[in-house]
Structure 1
């Protein structure tokens, strides 16, 4: 099994300062009534936030990091140690 490693990069922009324009947030199609995540994209970054707390913290990923993560989720290559129930 491949373990996906995502490294925090403090140089990634915040959505308010680095996106260059208002972001269009979309909610995950797998979200339940209790909430889930929302995602917004800029030209070079993907931003993720808790849909129940839109003014709360936001995680920024470089586009390539996000692609690797979503591909690992799709193909099931995430290690069981990285999943939570």
Structure 2
């Protein structure tokens, strides 16, 4: 994956990764988020050396709000 201002090719270069407390570790679709960075890095928990997508704080907050309100439909 090419580096852009919205991705990091190797997410293992960042620190502070964590999974949601709702994740029991047996789910195939887990994401990790890293704390302590200017943007909010998000990666696939199964690909720790894979890419991370960077969200602005406003973008990440909007995404979480939409998830909590059930505004995202699976498969769209």
User: Which category describes the TM-score, using the shorter chain as reference length?
Assistant: 0.5 to 0.7
Structure 2 distance, partners of 1:42, 1:51, is: 18
- TM normalised by structure 2 equals 0.68
Matched, 1:41 2:35: yes
Task: Give the alignment's TM-score, normalised by structure 1.
Answer: 0.62
Could you list the runs of 5+ residues in structure 1 that have no partner in the other structure?
1-9, 17-21
Q: How many residues are paired up?
A: 68
Let me know the Cα RMSD of the aligned residues: 2.5
Is the radius of gyration larger for structure 1 or structure 2? 1
1:48 aligns to what SS in structure 2? Answer: strand
- Runs of at least 4 residues off by over 6 Å: none
Alignment equivalent of 2:62, drawn from 65, 68, 75 = 68
What residue ranges of structure 2 are gaps of 5+ in the alignment? none
